Structure 1
Amino acid sequence: MRRLIALTTICRRQSPAIIGFILAIVLVSCVQTNSINKAVAGSQIILSSSAEPNTFNPQLMEQGVGILTFLYEGLIRENGRGEIKPALARSWETSEDQKRIIFTLRKGLKWSDGKPLTADDVVFTYKDIYTNPAIPSYAKDFLQIGKTRSFPTVKKLDNWRVEFTLPEPFAPFLRTTKLEILPAHILRSSITTKDSTGRPLFLSIWDTDTPPNQIVSNGAYKLESYVPSERITFRKNPYYWRKDTQSHTQPYIDRIVLNTVSNNDTALIQFRSGGLDFIDVNSNYFSLLKREEKRGKFTIYNGGSQTGSTAMMFNLNTGLRNGQPLINPIKSRWFNTVAFRQAVAYSINRPRMVNNLFAGVGALQNSPIAVQSPYYLSQQAGLPVYNYNQEKAKALLLKAGFRYNNQGELFDSDGNRVRFTLTANVGNKVLQNMAPLIQDDLSQIGIQVDLNLIGVGLVVDKLANRLDWDCQIIDGFPMTVEPNEAVNIWSTKGNWHFFNRQPQAGQIPITKQEVADWEQKIDDLYIQGAAANEAQRKQIYAETQRLSQEYLPFIYLVNSLSMVSMRNRIQGVKHSALQGTFWNIYELKSNPINN
């Protein structure tokens, strides 16, 4: 999962899992405020997001990443069933030793500015951006292979063919090539030219002040306009390569409007009033919307079990920054005590969450791998689970040296009251309602929890930059089908290894940071799993799930159904829990809105 969280319905992007992850923190359902209500010529669809992009540079984007689904494609793509399909590459060949892959591009590909897209762009993207040590690219986590964390080499064979050579067999590589291809003719000079501090200009190119016509894309749409705090609009890319079986150019919808909004309650109001074409249907809204489905001229689509769950995590980082601990050392000792985390897991009444927050339409989540995955380990097969049991929680705490006073308040062995802050995105209704339930559950075992409900931008800043939080709950934690798509979460150096994150390129260094044995073991197993055969992979990823549940860097909570609602005038919707609603944006059709 590339950037934090919420597989919100708009735009689940097609990059490896962390596409995941910030999506769930970051995107909440769609809504319109001060939107473009006046009619425009041609067809359009109106969406919205709670998070605005912090940049339009795909490799540096931490917020609003869902828009990249509209703007960019890779060599391959995944359909709604998670199957690998050709995209910019029309075909590929893999050598017998599984260490060489030759991709053949479609001829006649063009960028949104009309310039040719060739093998030079592929080589530039992988060599000069993705594997460049001076660029803090999220893609690095998915391309580092084996214990040496070596990158594949890439070379141009001719204008239409590119060869990748891997240091060793790497089962997930083909799926990884859905990463965006970027334009060499626009961005190359920003790699070679440095600013006054010696950093590549690429690190500041395509910021949110950049004129939209200077942002060049290869996807179904191009950026048309951006009004901060109001909306982003996208216009059909006239040079997009796709055509339907009757040779009609795609996409069919001329324009996409993405409005900035604060929360999903506002989204519901706007959807019901007809100002929005699409909404994520959470369990609280389902009954109301189902009653209005016919009159409101919309359809509710059920994509099956979500591949993004709610989860809770403690900050296990023991490091110092500028000589100061990131986390209060007293709290850090609690958080890094396995029995403490296990006690918290036992104390959370997840069945109550299913009933109160999801209206009974949900399931308890216990694994970082989706139930749809062939690598999923069930409880029957040996996955540890933490069913609600507060007596067991208290027993674990007492055995670990904690104690209770006469009022039932919990103290550590040094007499410190056990109290910490739980942070969540205030714009996410599920998290907003879940936080007080967790607060109440933990009070029953003597722990005082202070709630800190803040905006999504501050959440992302704490997780990715400041690293100074106690405990977080997140929505849309990516439950991957291909385990390696979450490698940036489980690699100890991964960009989204949030529970014990190391500073990334350009960030203030951290000293005295420790990596636990189990943490390193999971990292090692992910490396082994990527190089193993299918039978071995299942055994390896079963072990990663057992370790994850024993040591609980994440306490998985509740998983819901993936449901969305779309206006009936939008045709061709193939909503999928695996890929979201807009994976086939080029196929969607809309009745035109006339002046």
Structure 2
Amino acid sequence: MCSSERTPAMPVRRLLSPLALLTSVVLALTACGGTQSAAPGSPTGGTTLKWGWTLPTTWDPVTSSAGNDVNVLSLVYSAITRLDDKGEATPGLATGWKYAEDGKSVAFTLRPGLTFSDGSPLDATAVRKSLLRGRDQKDSLIASQLRNVEDVEVVSPTEFEVVLEQADYQIPALLAGKTGMVVNPKAFEADAKGVSTKPAGSGPFTLNRLVPGSHANLVRNPSYYDAANIHLDAFEVKAVTEPATVVAGLQSGQYDVAQLPPEQIEAARAAGLQIDLIPSLTVRVLDVNNKIAPFDDPKVTEALKYAVDRKALLETSNFGVGEVNVQPFPKGHLGYNPELENLYPHDPAKARRLLAEAGHPNGIDVPLTTGAPQGLPEQVQEQLKEAGIRTTIKLIAPAQHTQLVYVQHNVALAPDGFVGRESPLQALSVVYGPEGLMNPGRNTPEALLEKFEEIRTTPLDDPGYAGALQEAVAIGVKELPNVWLFSTPRIFARNPKVSPLPTGPAVQRFDGVRITNP
């Protein structure tokens, strides 16, 4: 991990309490060996780690449309800051930062001698161009997060100042994710669209070969600022197309580490694999578009919240791995509001009464759009039926989900997962903001917008900061249609030759990971 010291004046605040919710489960059993051969383009005889995960929607952080993309993008890009296990902003490309007294600017200091993977200098000028591209490019999906940035002023090759239109103390955390990933201007100035398949960053690895929909081969970047903590010569991200075959894939050597469906945990243990349960910011949710009838009636969306049996969904669809949750932050997060815990108990009778009050005494018929017809969607369908909400499962290709739900806004009801964001305000903006990807109805109460402003302008060490976050959560949960279900950890099975994976709520990293001989 980053060893630079934090600037004393840096305004940081714990976002997560000690993450003891879920611990790493390690079984010292035998299994098939890790990979000791190199991927194409890697040093001969070096170690290659094969990761069963998902390929990103794009290799350009500016146009990335899925929260999960950040995990793979972090392999090829470095961000200005990073989050530690407690969710605090810590040094990344920048060694420290300091706010002006009025909170309307924040000065960052970069590590000296930084370069992109192609050898181009990664200096304050490059950072400026990258941030302003994220703010100004027409198809940018991070533009709303940078709207408050008036300019980025270059002070010296290693110093820059983010000038804000109004005070915003969320900036250091915001710049720990896709918003703060620095893209090489040499690449996007020559071919901005080309970055989608040819990432140009300064992360621990560089993309060597890409087979869309299948896998990506990466090689170690010797110029990465923390290269001494990267012990793998090559990395292969392999798309998991059949989750049911993950254990077999790990046994055969197809993967060294892979995302594991919860129902396969016991099978993985029996196969001698090691299991890591890593606390995350992920919450399962039903996306609801309240611009589409009958969900344009608040009583109907409220009925949905009482119709689902969250505990039963957690036990059956996620095999009990996780926690029931009715809000966008998991327990332990600074924004988690404990007063909301029992807000929407399973009560199908109350749901039917609410439907009747909305003019639907005989219930309603609605489509349930999903890319995965089995599991959670089927269980949700049965639960809603008991409350008088009759659904027809409409199957779409998983790749269409983002386009239909978040871009075209023509899906009324869809199961989904929210993977959280580095900045709490950014997370709230995504799910409740007027331009939020997960707010397809684009309805944001004025009281919530006012609370957003309070969060933005409150220093993170102010005693009122946590309260403002939790009040915003309460408004969003009660007044907007999202139906939160349960929080989940990241579940990985790994070959015993692979050392334990780093924990971290926002991004899965591989710093310090080794492959060893038995």
TM-score, normalised relative to structure 1: 0.74
Shift of 1:549: 2.5
Aligned partners of 1:480 and 1:486 also within 8 Å = no
Counting only pairs closer than 5 Å after superposition, residues 504-519 of structure 1 correspond to structure 2 as 515=443, 519=445
Shift of 1:269: 2.6
Q: Which residue of 2 aligns with 1:253?
A: 232
Q: Which residue of 2 aligns with 1:46?
A: 50
Shift of 1:479: 7.8
What is the identity, as a one-letter code, of the residue corresponding to 1:72? Answer: Y
Q: Which residue of 1 aligns with 2:398?
A: 456
Q: Which residue of 1 aligns with 2:365?
A: 419
Counting only pairs closer than 5 Å after superposition, residues 420-435 of structure 1 correspond to structure 2 as 420-426=366-372, 432-435=374-377
Q: Which residue of 1 aligns with 2:106?
A: 101
Q: Which residue of 1 aligns with 2:506?
A: 579
Q: Which residue of 2 aligns with 1:466?
A: 408
Q: 1:62 aligns with which of 62, 65, 73?
A: 65
Shift of 1:572: 5.1
Shift of 1:119: 1.1
Q: Which residue of 2 aligns with 1:222?
A: 206
Counterpart Cα distance in 1 of 2:214 and 2:438 = 32
Q: Which residue of 1 aligns with 2:26?
A: none
1:278 paired to 2:257: yes
For the residue of structure 2 that corresponds to 1:469, the secondary structure is coil
1:234 paired to 2:208: no
Shift of 1:236: 0.5
Q: 1:139 aligns with which of 124, 139, 142?
A: 142
Aligned partners of 1:373 and 1:480 also within 8 Å = no
Aligned partners of 2:428 and 2:473 also within 8 Å = no
Aligned partners of 2:65 and 2:141 also within 8 Å = no
Q: Which residue of 2 aligns with 1:291?
A: 270
Q: 1:167 aligns with which of 157, 165, 178?
A: 165
In the alignment, structure 1 segments of 5+ residues that lack a partner are: 1-16, 18-35, 146-150, 191-201, 244-248, 318-331, 405-409, 411-417, 502-514
Shift of 1:520: 3.8
Counterpart Cα distance in 1 of 2:187 and 2:312 = 53
For the residue of structure 2 that corresponds to 1:345, the secondary structure is helix
Q: 1:550 aligns with which of 470, 475, 478?
A: 478
Q: Which residue of 1 aligns with 2:245?
A: 266
Residues 364, 481 of structure 1: CA spacing in aligned structure 2 closer, same or farther, 3 A cutoff?
A: farther
Range with bigger deviation, 433-442 or 64-73: 64-73
Percent of matched pairs sharing the same residue: 17
For the residue of structure 1 that corresponds to 2:276, the secondary structure is strand
Shift of 1:375: 2.7
What is the identity, as a one-letter code, of the residue corresponding to 2:281? Answer: T
Counterpart Cα distance in 1 of 2:247 and 2:238 = 14
What is the identity, as a one-letter code, of the residue corresponding to 2:108? Answer: F
Shift of 1:346: 1.1
Counterpart Cα distance in 1 of 2:489 and 2:463 = 30
What is the identity, as a one-letter code, of the residue corresponding to 2:448? Answer: I
Shift of 1:302: 2.7
1:388 paired to 2:346: yes
Q: 1:73 aligns with which of 62, 75, 78?
A: 78
Aligned partners of 1:44 and 1:592 also within 8 Å = no
Q: Which residue of 1 aligns with 2:20?
A: none
Counting only pairs closer than 5 Å after superposition, residues 347-386 of structure 1 correspond to structure 2 as 347-379=307-339, 385-386=343-344
Shift of 1:308: 0.7
Aligned partners of 2:173 and 2:422 also within 8 Å = no
Counting only pairs closer than 5 Å after superposition, residues 189-200 of structure 1 correspond to structure 2 as 189-190=190-191
Aligned partners of 1:420 and 1:449 also within 8 Å = yes
Aligned partners of 1:278 and 1:564 also within 8 Å = yes
Q: CA RMSD in A?
A: 2.7
Counterpart Cα distance in 2 of 1:542 and 1:37 = 46
Shift of 1:423: 1.4
| C-alpha distance after superposition, 1:30-74 (max 9, x if no partner) | xxxxxx999432101001334x44443321133572321101112
1:500 paired to 2:441: yes
Counterpart Cα distance in 1 of 2:507 and 2:435 = 28
For the residue of structure 1 that corresponds to 2:445, the secondary structure is helix
| C-alpha distance after superposition, 1:281-303 (max 9, x if no partner) | 443122222333xxx3x322233
Counting only pairs closer than 5 Å after superposition, residues 104-119 of structure 1 correspond to structure 2 as 104-119=109-124
For the residue of structure 1 that corresponds to 2:367, the secondary structure is strand
What is the identity, as a one-letter code, of the residue corresponding to 2:174? Answer: T
Range with bigger deviation, 108-117 or 484-493: 484-493
What is the identity, as a one-letter code, of the residue corresponding to 2:450? Answer: D
Counterpart Cα distance in 1 of 2:104 and 2:205 = 34
Shift of 1:378: 0.9
Shift of 1:586: 3.2
Shift of 1:592: 7.8
Q: 1:538 aligns with which of 436, 456, 466?
A: 466
| C-alpha distance after superposition, 1:62-120 (max 9, x if no partner) | 35723211011122111233232211112223333333322121111111111221111
What is the identity, as a one-letter code, of the residue corresponding to 2:220? Answer: K
TM-score, normalised relative to structure 2: 0.84
Aligned residues: 473
Counterpart Cα distance in 2 of 1:542 and 1:229 = 40
Residues 177, 355 of structure 1: CA spacing in aligned structure 2 closer, same or farther, 3 A cutoff?
A: closer
What is the identity, as a one-letter code, of the residue corresponding to 1:425? Answer: G
Q: 1:529 aligns with which of 441, 446, 455?
A: 455
Residues 548, 282 of structure 1: CA spacing in aligned structure 2 closer, same or farther, 3 A cutoff?
A: same
